Each structure stands twice: as structure tokens, then as C-alpha cells.
Amino acid sequence: MLIKVINPNTTLSMTKMIGESARAVVGPGVTVEAVSPSMGPASIESHYDDALSVPGVLQEVLLGEEGGADGYVIACFGDPGLLAAREVAAGPVVGIAEAGMKSATYLGRTFSVVTTLGRTVGHTWELAHRYGVGAACAGVYACEIPVLDLETDPAARSRILAACRDALVRDGSDVVVLGCAGMADFCVDLSASLGVPVIDGVAAATATVQALVTLGLRTSKRLEFASPAAKTYDGMLQGFAPPR
């Protein structure tokens, strides 16, 4: 089984770390390929960044289809391009916000999300409602660390830990979901310190894709997620035109 894990931003050091998180949870015989797109933003911290990461994500899915990928993880907590990717992929496609938050619902009544920047809080709530976990999501908190500083800021770990502690107290929640792929490598330590399950969406999504492929389940092509109809695409994006 080949699972392609797409980091929607172009920062390769993050892609490497994401790949390691994914590889740590797959079974024997499962290959994880972690990639960044050839185009788009270095980090995703706004709706604008999110929207412009999508062409790169879709390009990687199209390449994955040629390369025999059995399923895909979209490894950014905004789940950019998720529904479009489901139309062009044969196998399952899972986002890390989706898998992180849905997995939390198996472990307690409510969870809190701890994310990077305050400006993404609204988007996280929107995803929570879209995924049916709006009632289970007790709160979304930002530690105000930009995505790319997660790797370099020596205080990142302790600030995230503090934000998690505050969230658990304020929300009376059972579980923490980490709101950025760049936090994946903090997950085990945080859980040990906090004494509650802490979910890294990258690992959760990878395990979910593996489970779905094992179950023989893939996106329904009956209606909304059928392959896009062939048509002309213009200008810089003409290469994206769906084939006949």
C-alpha cells in the first residue's frame, strides 16, 4: 500500500517531519511518500494562503494517481483542496483537521483545539461544524506562533503546553487536538505532560487512510465526487484541464 502524504506548503523541513510522523503509525507493507507541491505558499496562515495552496495539492494528487498511490493525506489543518482531491483520486483522501477532530470523538465527549495564529480560529470552527463535530469541539485556542517558527522558536513547546493546559481547564474537555501539522512532533510529550490524549492530525489521518484502504473503501463516485468533466482550462492553469 502506498500512502501519499501531501504537505500543502513548500517548506521541505516541515515535509520531512510530517513524513516521519506518518511513517511511525503505518503497518508493514505500507509505504509513505511525503511531498510538498512545486508551487504555492511557504506556509499557510490565511484563507488566501489556503486557497493558493490548492493547485499544488491537486497537482500532487494527479501525480499520485499516475504513481499508484492508494490514498492521500492532506497535511495542513485547513484541509485545503480536500473535496476537489476526492474527485480526482481513486482512493480515499483524508485531511488532518478532519481526521484529528473526528478521531477525538472516539476518546471523550469534548476536545479542545490548540492552533498557531488567532486569525485561523474562525476557519477551524467552520471545519468543525462542516465535519459534524461542532458540539464536541469545546474551544479553539491560538498560541500565536507563526507556522514556520514552530521548528525554530525554542519557546514553542512550552507555549503550546501552556495553551493546552489553559484550554483543558477553561473547556472542561477530555482531549486536545493539535491544530497544525507543524506540531506533530510535540504530540507524545504533550500527552505525557497533560495526562490526556493529544492528537496529531498527521498520524490520525495516515492511520485513517490505511484503515479505509484496508477496508476496501474509497470515495463514492456516484454523484458529487465523480471525476470532473473534461473541459478547457485557460492561461497559466491550462495544464490542469481534466482529460477526456
Residues facing 32 on adjacent strands: 3
* One residue of 13, 83, 151, 153 binding a second copy per CB under 8 A: 83
Q: Cβ 236 to a second copy, closest distance in Å?
A: 5
Q: Of the listed pieces 151-159, 177-185, 211-219, which binds a second copy according to CB under 8 A?
A: 211-219
Give yes or no for a contact between 61 and 88, defined as CB atoms under 8 angstroms apart.
Answer: yes
Q: What angle do CA 18, 22, 27 make, to 5 degrees?
A: 165
For residue 19, state whether it binds a second copy (rule: CB under 8 A). no
Residues 41-80 that bind a second copy (CB under 8 A): 41-43, 45-52, 54-56, 58
Q: Which is nearer to a second copy, 50 or 156 (CB)?
A: 50
Asked whether 145 and 110 are in contact (CB, 8 A), the reply is: no
Stretch touching a second copy by CB under 8 A, among 104-112, 157-165, 178-186: 104-112
Q: How far is 200 from 228, CA to CA, in rounded Å?
A: 32
69: helix, strand or coil: coil
Shortest separation between residue 78's beta carbon and a second copy, angstroms: 11
Joined together, the cell numbers standing for residue 56 give 499544488
User: With contacts defined by CB under 8 A, how many residues of the chain interact with a second copy?
Assistant: 99
Letter for the amino acid at 19? G
**In sequence order, which residues have a C-beta less than 8 Å from that of residue 128 and are 6 or more positions away?**
101, 113, 134, 136, 137, 140
Convert residues 178-197 into a mask of x (bound to a second copy by CB under 8 A) and - (unbound).
----------x--x---xxx
Q: For a second copy, which is the closer residue by CB, 229 or 244? A: 229
